[in-house]
Amino acid sequence: MGSVFPGLRCAPPGAAIWRPLRGLGRGLGALAVCPSYVPVTKLVQTLLDGLAVGGLYALIALGYTMVYGILKFINFAHSDIFVLGAWISWVFAVRVLGVPDSAGATAPGWTGPLVFLVAMTACGTAGFLIERFAYKPLRNAPRLNVLITAIGVSLLLQNTGQLRVFFGPYPKSMPLLVPDVTLGYLAGVRVPLVDVIVLGTVVVLMLGLEGLIFRTKLGRGMRAVSFNTSLAALMGVNVSAVISFTFVLGSALAAAAGFLFVMKYPAGLKQPADTSWMMLGLKAFVAAVVGGIGNVRGAMLGGMLIGLLEFFGVAYFEPLYRDVYVFSLLILVLLFRPTGLLGRATVEKV
C-alpha cells in the first residue's frame, strides 16, 4: 500500500467532536469499526475528500500539461517540485519560523499564508533554474534527450533531498498552521477549516490561471507558443521568456499543492524519495492525460475526476484497490479517447 491518505473519515450522526484521523493504519482501522453509515453523510464526506484531493491532483497536473503544451515533453521532475513545496513548507515553518511540530501545538494565523507564499516562490525559482540549466541547453535536441534529462533531474531532486543538510531521510510531521477548527456540519459531516482552505485555494488558483491564460496578453503569448513556437516568435512573442514563465508558474502551482497537501495530511510528509510521493505525482500525471495533455481545462477536470473516482471507489467498493480505479480510468481513456476528455486530435497540416 503506497497511499498516504488516511482513508475515509467516518462521521456517525451526532458525533460532536471528531478529530481528523492522521495515519493510514488508524484511518483504515476506523473504517472497519465505524458505526452504521447514514447514506447521505457518507456521500457528502466522500465528495468533500474527493474534491479536495482532486483539486491537489489538478494543481500538479496543470504543471505537467502546461509544459507539455509548450515544449511537447513530459517533465518527469515535476512531481518532485510538489515534494519540494511540501518540504520547504516544513523547513520554513519549523526551522525558520520556529513553529513547534509537536502534536497539539498551534501557530499564529499569519504563518500559514507566509509559508504558502515562501513555498511557491522557492519552487518557482527552482523551476526557473531547472529549465534554464537542464532543459534550455537541449532546446533543439531530440525529445528523448530531454525526457531522459527530466528523469535525471527527478532522481537528483529526490536523492539530494534525502541528504541531512536538506530534508533528511526520515518522515516529519507538519505543524498545524491552520487551526483545527470546525466550521460546521454538512449533512452530519464535520467541515474542518482546513478542507475549506484547501478547496478555496484550489478554486482561486484555478480561476486565476484561467484568467491569466485566456484574458491576458502574456496568456495569449503562451497559447501562441503552445500552438506553434516559430509562428509565435514571428508575432513578436519572446519564446524563451514564455517557456521560463511557464516553468515558474507550473512549479509555483505544484508548491501550492505541496503546501495544501501537508496542511490536510500532516502525517503525509514522508522522506523526499519515498514512493508515496511518486504515486501522487503519477496520479496527477494520469489526471493530465485523462483531461487531455496540453489542455489546461482538461487538467483541472482530470484532477477532480481522478480524486472523486479514487475516494468513491475506496468508500463504496474496495479500499485496497485505491490505485486500481485511477489507472483503470487511464487505460479506458487511452483505449477509447486517446486524446483525453478535452483534448482534440491534432491535424497534421500539409
Enumerate binding residues for other proteins (CB under 8 A): 217, 220-221, 223-224, 226-228, 230-240, 349
DSSP-derived secondary structure letter, 153: H
Residue closer to other proteins, measured from CB, 221 or 298: 221
Q: Which stretches of 191-295 are DSSP H helices? A: 193-215, 217-227, 229-234, 239-264, 275-291
Q: State the DSSP H helix or E strand holding residue 117, giving kind and residue range, or none if neither.
A: helix 111-130
Dihedral of alpha carbons 102, 103, 105, 107, sign: positive
How far, CA to CA in Å, does 199 sit from each of 50, 83, 216, 256, 262? 10, 19, 25, 12, 14
Residue closer to other proteins, measured from CB, 234 or 335: 234
Q: State the DSSP H helix or E strand holding residue 347, giving kind and residue range, or none if neither.
A: none
Residue closer to other proteins, measured from CB, 146 or 213: 213
Least CB distance from residue 235 to other proteins, whole Å?
5
CA distance 82 to 195: 19
Least CB distance from residue 69 to other proteins, whole Å?
10
Residues 6 or more apart whose Cβ sits within 8 Å of residue 330: 286, 289, 290
Residue closer to other proteins, measured from CB, 160 or 228: 228
Least CB distance from residue 219 to other proteins, whole Å?
11
Whether residue 274 contacts residue 171, with contact meaning beta carbons closer than 8 Å, is answered with yes
Least CB distance from residue 265 to other proteins, whole Å?
38
Residue closer to other proteins, measured from CB, 91 or 213: 213
Cα Rg of the chain, angstroms: 20
Least CB distance from residue 209 to other proteins, whole Å?
17
CA distance 262 to 174: 6
Whether residue 88 contacts residue 255, with contact meaning beta carbons closer than 8 Å, is answered with yes
Least CB distance from residue 228 to other proteins, whole Å?
7
Least CB distance from residue 231 to other proteins, whole Å?
5
Residue closer to other proteins, measured from CB, 234 or 331: 234
Residue closer to other proteins, measured from CB, 150 or 237: 237
